[in-house]
Structure 1
Amino acid sequence: MTHPTGTPAAQARAFAIGAFTVGLLSLVVLIVLFGVLGGMAPLVAASILGIVAVILGILAIRRGAARGFAIAGIVAGALAVVLGLAILIFALLFVGALGI
């Protein structure tokens, strides 16, 4: 028995919703886990999740469905990557507080 993969529009919508979800998750990881745990691991995790969100958002836009979710995922993912890297660079250069 084979499982249907869905229409291309449904697949594009799944990419867009995935981008939105992963983008929000990356921001939550960045804000909550870095605030609670500190250290470098939450920054790296948030940056990786942010990159995944951006990639999924771009794929969703290229497939042409659910542009709002895709753009929101791209923005949230990019924001997590930029903030994560900015905090990491600031901590390494000026504070030295990450225990590296």
Structure 2
Amino acid sequence: MASQEEELEAWCGRLLTSLELEDTTVDVGAVLQLASVAAHTVVRPAAPLTTFIAGFAAGLAAGSGQADDTAAMGAAMRAAARECKNYGETGDTDDH
């Protein structure tokens, strides 16, 4: 029986292949950490929304040539994590 980590890695590989992104490297642990931060500082359903938006932003940055894939994803994930932490510290929901 595969561990959860093994299952996630296998799923990630399968999904990347299905989307014709086989050469893309995904740091599953970093994505899960971002999801955890979002879930615990905003609300639980913010986890998939946050990771989707970060990935979308990274894809736009990489696709437009602003950064390579790795740099674009790192920058998007750091920005998203920063916003989650700021949201959790201020509790400000007026702008969201």
TM over 0.5: no
TM-score normalised by structure 1 residue count: 0.32
Greater Rg over alpha carbons, structure: 1
Q: Which has the higher contact order (CA 8 A, sep 6+)?
A: 1
More helix by share: 1
